[in-house]
Amino acid sequence: MNYLPAYRLKIYRNFKAIEAVDFHGIVRYYERYEQDIHQLDFEEYFDCLASYTQALYEIGDYRKHLVMCDFLLETIIIQNVETWGGEDLYTRTLLAKATSQYYEQEYQSAEHILMEFVKITPENTLPAQKLWKKCLLCQKPVWLMRIRALGVGILLFTALFIAIEIFVVAPFFSEYHARVQQAHNVLLVLGLFILFAGELRHIWICHHSVNRFVQHARQKKSA
């Protein structure tokens, strides 16, 4: 259905009348008049589309935001929209999409998006780096789970060892009590050290891998 210019103007005017920070209002209006908004001229329609997509992110509707990000990115590419509102909307949308994937626990998908973001803009990657590192930290590799299991196992054995010390060694073999105490202290420190060392190594690997990728991307672009 083709609407008269006056009606289309009213649709767009009412949309722009919504406060920029009233994200729920933007979402409600867009979804109520979505068919009418599609009839607007491209610039007006695209303005509504970009605002609606951003509003979905701001209200935390990440699943729906991901769907609209894909559509918005496709529209940007097809229509060759280089900048919008004085900024690179394509890279901003990429970063927002990766953030939504992070909140939806789609860490590997977010990593892929962030890698592309770094390749496109290696000179301005601090937000992407932070998010990428968080994605990596949330993923627990097999070696880390094994180290955790080992550390927890030692701590559980230490608890059993202490119980034996209290109920057996102390009352019946008091001459060995001091040595047993030293042994359980060593086991306790060992278990905690293994857990701490595993987590610290995981953090270092995450930070190092991201920083190395960013440095390589910068060198490649400047070459």
Indicate whether 208 and 175 sit together in one domain. yes
Residue 135 in domain: no
Residues 165-199 pLDDT 10s: 777 766 676 776 677 778 878 888 999 999 999 99
Looking at 128, 150, 174, which one is the last position of a domain? 128
- Tell me which amino acid residue 9 is: L
Residue 207 in domain: yes
- Total-model pTM: 0.84
Q: Rounded to an integer, what distance in angstroms lies between the CA atom of residue 214 and that of residue 200?
A: 21
Indicate whether 196 and 108 sit together in one domain. no
Provide the number of structural domains found in the chain. Answer: 2
The arithmetic mean of pLDDT across residues 27-40, rounded, is: 93
The arithmetic mean of pLDDT across residues 89-101, rounded, is: 94
Which residues, listed in sequence order, are joined to residue 87 by a DSSP beta bridge? 84
Indicate whether 116 and 166 sit together in one domain. no
Indicate whether 151 and 124 sit together in one domain. no
pLDDT value of position 201: 95
pLDDT value of position 83: 82
Which residues, listed in sequence order, are joined to residue 118 by a DSSP beta bridge? none
Indicate whether 102 and 152 sit together in one domain. no
Q: Rounded to an integer, what distance in angstroms lies between the CA atom of residue 157 and that of residue 24?
A: 54
Task: Say if residue 55's pLDDT is above 80.
Answer: yes
The answer to whether residues 101 and 110 touch, using CB atoms and an 8 Å cutoff, is yes
Phi and psi at residue 87, to the nearest 5°: -140, 165
Domain residues for 158? 142-222
| Domain of residue 13, CATH code | 1.25.40
